[in-house]
Every structure is written in C-alpha cells, then in structure tokens.
Amino acid sequence: QVQLVESGGGSVQAGGSLRLSCTASGLTFDDYAMHWFRQAPGKEREGVSCISWRGGRMSYADSVKDRFTISQDNAKNTLYLQMNSLKPEDTAVYYCAADPSPFCTYISYIPGRYKYWGQGTQVTVSS
C-alpha cells in the first residue's frame, strides 16, 4: 500500500522559511516524477515544483523560482520543499504527488494525471 505523508507546515511571518517533507512508503522515487502542488481557499490547485525521476531535473513555477528548492533523499524515501522568503500569497495547503510520467513535462496541475497524493500540510504566512 502506497502512502505519501507530508509534514513541516506551519505559521510563519513574511520573509521566513519552512521546509516541507513528503515521506513515501510502498513507492520508489525511481519510478515517478514527484510534484508539489498548493491550493489556497477559493482558488484552483497550482503546480509549485517538480523533480524528475532520479532527481535529474527540477522545475519551478515562476511565482516561487529563486525562493523554493525541491530535493529528494532516496535513502530516506523523502521529498522536500525548502521555502525561503515566504510571502502571504504562499499561504495554502501544500500537497505532494507522484506522477507516473517521470520527466516533469508539466508543472501545472493536470486532473487525473497523478497516481498518489499526500493528505496536505497547511502553510500560513502572515504579513
């Protein structure tokens, strides 16, 4: 049984940092591209970042480029999202997802594409 479990969310002031984790069980990162998405209240789900299978390529949405860094630790089967210089507009529930198409062709959310999802972790940034 595959599980993705996010952690690391919380409340911070603008300019602060958080590191999100997504720990996988029953799944190996070698078989998937891994994505971070976010969804704010009343808004559509938004692609944030993607790391291709075996970590060869990282892609970012323009809104987070140069502030967020995606990485993965295969030994720990854990995906990370380091978020620096946080802004109030980064406030959302953040989700990790496994994409069976391994090359991060798309950052944006495509309904029905992702095989596994985590439960989400709340990030709140105050001004």
pLDDT confidence bin for 64, thresholds 50/70/90: very high
Predicted local distance difference test score (pLDDT) of residue 29: 86
**Choice between 56 and 1, residue whose per-residue pLDDT is larger:** 1
Predicted local distance difference test score (pLDDT) of residue 88: 97
Residue 62 CA to residue 103 CA, distance in Å, equals: 19
CA-CA distances (angstroms) from residue 91 to 14, 36, 125?
10, 14, 5
Residue 15 CA to residue 88 CA, distance in Å, equals: 9
Residue 90 CA to residue 83 CA, distance in Å, equals: 9
pLDDT confidence bin for 54, thresholds 50/70/90: confident
* In the chain, % of residues over pLDDT 90: 86
Question: What ranges in 1-127 are assigned the alpha helix state H?
Answer: none
Give the Cα-Cα-Cα angle 52, 55, 56 (nearest 5 degrees): 80
